[in-house]
Structure 1
Amino acid sequence: MFSRTFARSLTHTRPSASLSRACLFYTTEAAPATPQLLVRIKADVKDAMRSRDKERLAVVKGILSDLTYLEKSPQAPAQVTDSVIQILVQKSIKRRQESVQSFQSAGRADQAAQELKEIEMLKVYLPQAMTEQEIEDEVRRVVKEQGATGPKDLGKVMKELGSLDPAKAPKKTVSELVKKVLGSL
C-alpha cells in the first residue's frame, strides 16, 4: 500500500524545526516565586467573574492592569514582590481619594460615593499600616543608634530607615517624622 520510499521517510524523519526551537528556550534557572498577593488578586478576579460582581471585577482588574504597565515600563523593578504590588494599590487609592475631592467639590456625591466604595475594595490588599507614633518611635531609635545630632544627619538616618516596608510606613511620612525629630535636637 505504501511505497517503500514513503515508509522509509517516515522512519528516518528529522525532528521538526519547531521542536528544535523549543529546546533553545530551555533553562536550568528556577523561575521566580509568584508573590502571594498576586495569586490572591488573580483568585479574586475569578471570584468576581463567577459572582458577576462588575464593580469589584473592574477594581481588581485595574490592579492587574497597573502591574502590567509597571512591568513594561523602563523603571520596572527587577522582581515583582508583594511590597511592589502594595505600593501600586496605595497609589491607586491615592488617585481615587483625589477623585473623591474633585467630585465632592463639583457636587457629584454619587460619583464620590462610588470612588469611596472602590477605595474600601482596595484596602483589603494592604497590610496593617504603622501608626505615626510607631514610625516616630522607630525614627527615635535609629537617631539614637546613629548618634544623629541635627538636620545634617538626615541622609544617614533615612538610609538606615530604608529597611522599613514602604507599604506599611510611607516614605513621605517617614521623611517628615525624621525632619521633625532631627529638628528638635
Structure 2
Amino acid sequence: MEKYLILLAGPPATGKSYLNNLICEALPQTYTVSPDEFKQDMADSVGFSTAQEKKELEQQVWELYYQALEVYMRVGKQFIVTEYPFSYKQKPYFEGLSERYNYHVITIRLVSEFETLWQRRIQRDLDASRHLSFLMSHYRYGDTLQDRTQADELITKQGFWDIIEARQYNHFSLGKLYEIDVTDYSTVDYAPLLEELVALSREGR
C-alpha cells in the first residue's frame, strides 16, 4: 500500500483548515495532526506567564507534534494530513520521517494576494472564536479579553508581511506540489484536487 503525507501549507488565513475538512470528508480514512491544536491544548493545560515561557511551551509543542506524526507513520496510516504555515524549520523533520517510514509527500500550498490575506488575518484574530493564547504573551485557562484590539501580541500589518517573507511561507514545498490561489474564495474549485487524492486511495488498495 502506498502511503501519503499531505502538507497543507501557505500563510495564515488562506483557508487551510477548511481544505483539511474537505479532504477528510473525501477520504474518511485520513488521520490529521495539527501544531495549532497542540498549542491550544498546552496553553489550556499548562499556560504561560511571559513571552519566554510561551516560547518554551511552543518548543514542547513541536516535540509532541513530531512524536504524534511519527506514531501515525509507524503504524502505517495511508493518509496523514497536517496543516500549518510551514517553513524551512519543519522541512528537515518531514524529510527524515517520510524517508524513514516510506511516505510520499504532497504539498498543497495555498497562496493569496497580500491585502486580502491581511484583512482575513486581522478579522480572524479579532474574532472571539480565536483562541486567546495566540494573541497574548500571558495566558491561563479561562482568561478572557473582551476587546481583542488590546491583545499584547496582536500582529501588525508590517509584522505579518515580514514574517511571511522571512519564513518564505509562499515558497514552501516538499514532494509533489499543488499551488492554489485563494485570493477569491468564490472562484476556488477544490474538486479536481480531491478527485486526485481519492484516486490515489484506490490505487493503493
TM-score tier, shorter chain, comes to under 0.3
Q: Which has the larger share of helix?
A: 1
Q: Which has the higher contact order (CA 8 A, sep 6+)?
A: 2
Q: Which has the larger share of strand?
A: 2
Give me the TM-score of the superposition, normalised by structure 1. Answer: 0.27
